[in-house]
Amino acid sequence: MTTRNHTLQPLLQAQKRRAVLPWYFDLGGKAAFLVVALAACLLALIALAQTGRVVSLSYDIRQLKGEEQQLIWEREDLLARLARAQDPATLEQWARENGMEPLAPGDVTFVTVPAGWSPAIAVSTLAREP
């Protein structure tokens, strides 16, 4: 019984493929550790950048909410001033302070306008009169 001495083809093919692969597949322990450490540092930098952006946006949101509250207070103040200004008693007092007096019923003149009247007709009628 004899056995043949021959090399296995799949092993030779795998060795040839590995020889063609880039150098980083043949890293030693120190080099592999450095690559892993570098990858971890990059991930940490990405996480820190995102955290910084979130903090910045949070600050902006807080500032905008403060401005919104200030504008709400200002709006309420203006609405209160408008309500006080439109109060009939306040209007009457302001008018009297500025020299205005209420009209007597005989001082008011009412003019009735016909149904088909328009400003253009009135102007043309006035233009024809001598």
Which tens digit of pLDDT belongs to each residue from 28-56?
A: 778 788 889 999 999 999 999 999 999 99
Amino acid at residue number 66: G
Confidence (pLDDT) at 77: 97
Q: Is a pLDDT exceeding 70 seen at residue 127?
A: no
pTM: 0.45
C-alpha separations of 121 from 114, 126, 127, 129 in Å:
11, 9, 10, 13
Which tens digit of pLDDT belongs to each residue from 78-112?
A: 999 999 888 999 888 989 999 998 888 788 888 78
Residues 25, 18 contacting (CB under 8 angstroms): yes
